[in-house]
Amino acid sequence: MFTSRIRHYTNPFIKRVFQAIISLFLFFFITGCAPALYTIDIKYLSSAVVLPDATGGRKFVVTVAAFNDARPGGEDLLIGRVTTAMDGLTKVIPKTMRPSTAVSTIVKDVLVKSGYQVSLTMPAWNLQENAIQGDWGKILIGGNIDDLEVICQNDIPIKTYNARVRLTMVIADVQTGKIIHQVSTASNNSLEHVYFSEELLGQQLSSAVTEAVEKAFESKSLQEKIQNALK
């Protein structure tokens, strides 16, 4: 009788202690296994968006310059962070390409998908008309990366991913040496998932960059100015 009464009062307490131990074990297992850095690829993610056909763009070369990393802070390799409820922090950096090269490559991929003939070169351009070189094809596209970051709150049991991108795109007519269009676009996306991975980090940021670039090319004003310059 006495023994059963002790068991009756202690079992809920033991249960709570056991649950607390399991939670602590999971937390230290996750944080203890976390690397010093996460590395991800930023790449073009083909979407259902149908971009305007190049038409006359097949006859002329379009050059895409390396985008200028204009983000505040100056840490051009830092593109995100992973945090935990216990104030854990792990930085995210590119795996293969710097942000400037990655964004420019996505711009190239969008142009190729639309049927344009794109130069293999990727020159540096400060977005000034007096810096345009005559051998840069017919159309020159460059710009600034104003914001680019992915953040993951790596909690138990739900992981929350948030990515944001803001770009300024500048288009110039190489033959006249004049800037013909400038547009700013932004994209934000989020995801809740029970699983954490570098792949999901990369997908969220790649999707945001792809969407921001495609938004720029959806502008009817931009389409008309490119086609006029190609005539």
Q: What burial class does residue 33 get, using C-beta atoms within 10 Å of its C-beta: 0-12 exposed, 13-18 middle, 19+ buried?
A: exposed
Residues 26 and 47 in one domain: no
Note the pTM of the prediction, 2 decimals: 0.81
Residues 22 and 76 in one domain: no
Domain assignment of residue 97, given as a range:
36-230
Given a cut of 50, is residue 9 above it in pLDDT?
no
Residues 29 and 40 in one domain: no
Residue 8's pLDDT is 47
Residue 46's pLDDT is 81
How far is the C-alpha of 151 from the C-alpha of 80, rounded, in Å? 5
How far is the C-alpha of 52 from the C-alpha of 113, rounded, in Å? 10
Task: Kindly report the length of the chain.
Answer: 231
Residues 47 and 24 in one domain: no
Nearest C-alpha neighbor of 109 from the set 56, 170, 46, 58: 46
How far is the C-alpha of 208 from the C-alpha of 189, rounded, in Å? 6
In this prediction, residues 74-90 reach a mean pLDDT of 87
Residues 155 and 108 in one domain: yes
> Are 191 and 206 contacting, i.e. CB atoms less than 8 angstroms apart?
no
Report CA torsion sign: 119, 120, 126, 131.
negative
Residues 22 and 112 in one domain: no
Angle between the N-to-C axes of helices 198-217 and 99-113, in degrees from 0 to 180, rounded to the nearest 10: 60
Residues 118 and 189 in one domain: yes
Residues 19 and 131 in one domain: no
- Binning pLDDT at 50, 70 and 90, where does residue 51 land? low
- Binning pLDDT at 50, 70 and 90, where does residue 57 land? low
87 phi-psi bin (left φ>0, alpha ψ -120 to 50, beta other) = left
How far is the C-alpha of 34 from the C-alpha of 161, rounded, in Å? 17
Residues 14 and 106 in one domain: no
Nearest C-alpha neighbor of 150 from the set 138, 163, 135: 163
> What beta strand segments (E) does 26-76 contain?
37-40, 61-64, 68-69
- The 3-state DSSP class for residue 192 equals strand
The number of domains in the chain is 2
DSSP-assigned letters across all residues of 139-184: EEEEEEEEEEEEEEEE-SS-EEEEEEEEEEEEEEETTTTEEEEEEE
How far is the C-alpha of 176 from the C-alpha of 139, rounded, in Å? 10
Pick from 27-41, 75-89, 149-163, 177-191: least confident: 27-41
Residues 69 and 99 in one domain: yes
